Amino acid sequence: MDAIKEFFGVGGYKRTPEGYMSWQHLLFVSAFMVLMVTLAVLLGRRNRNKDEKTKNKVIAVAAIVLLVLKAMEMTVPCIKEGSARPLLINLPLFLCSIQMIALPLAAFSKGRLKEAALDFVFIFGILGAVMGTYGAGQNFNAYPILSFDNILSVLSHSLAGFASLYIAISGLTSMKTKNIWITFVILCSFCILAYIANVLIPYNYMFLMNHDGTPYVIFYNLVNGSRVFYPMIVVGLFLLYVSVFYLVYFFIRKRKQRSAEKGA
User: How confident is the model at residue 135, as a pLDDT?
Assistant: 86
What's the predicted TM-score (pTM) here? 0.88
- Amino acid 66: pLDDT: 95
DSSP state of 135: T
Question: Which residues of the chain have a pLDDT value below 50?
Answer: none
Q: At CB < 8 A and 24+ separation, what contacts does 247-252 make?
A: 249/175, 250/175
Among 67, 257, 68, 38, smallest CA distance to 166 is for 38
* CA 193/CA 212 separation, integer angstroms: 19
DSSP state of 207: G
- DSSP character for 92? S
Contact between residue 64 and residue 103 where contact means Cβ atoms under 8 Å apart: no
**Model confidence pLDDT, tens digit, residues 82-131:** 888 888 888 889 888 889 999 999 999 998 889 999 999 999 999 999 98
